[in-house]
Amino acid sequence: IKDDLEMRAGRQNEETKINAVIDKLADTIDFDLPEELLKSETQGQADSMVQEGQQAGMSDDDIATQQEGLFAAAEVRAKNSLKTNFLLQEIAKAEELAVESSDVLQRVTMMAKQAKQPVKKYMKELQKNGQLGNIRQNMLLSKAVDFLVEHATVTEVEAPAETPAED
């Protein structure tokens, strides 16, 4: 149990570092996003948020009454997502980061095993759906994030002591 808790704490710590580095990068650099791309991404985020709401048990009426707030939140998510994506692509390009075909094959093999499908069949399905490029792109962005975390100066601080809740 102790090892499991330590592993979880380590993973959470690593995720916190990644989020802090990405947030700092996005806050430091500002630029305009292409309007059409922003509209498309905002719609995609809104659709995703509606689906999440439905899965959480929200009715169509609830979603309709919260439509304006939902769309505003979707636009914020879209801006952050696109901005981070553009920045990570530029970092990957500047640092000459690349994803080898063997790495993509290894990832697809792992995905096929998780899906309990033969690798060749799974690969053909990904090719047919045009998903191999997305997998490669996601791996490249992940490498850019790893590069940032590796080269970032991160200062760890103690979490503030929780004050007992008053009854």
More confident residue, 113 or 62: 113
pLDDT in tens, 6-61: 899 888 888 888 888 888 888 888 889 999 999 999 999 999 998 998 898 988 88
Residue 160 has pLDDT above 80, yes or no: no
| Predicted TM-score (pTM) of this structure | 0.75
| DSSP collapsed to 3 states, the chain | CHHHHHHHHHHHHHHHHHHHHHHHHHHHCCCCCCHHHHHHHHHHHHHHHHHHHHHCCCCHHHHHHCHHHHHHHHHHHHHHHHHHHHHHHHHHHHCCCCCCHHHHHHHHHHHHHHCCCCHHHHHHHHHHCCCHHHHHHHHHHHHHHHHHHHHCCCCCCCCCCCCCCCC
pLDDT in tens, 109-125: 999 999 999 999 999 99
pLDDT at residue 166, as a whole number: 55
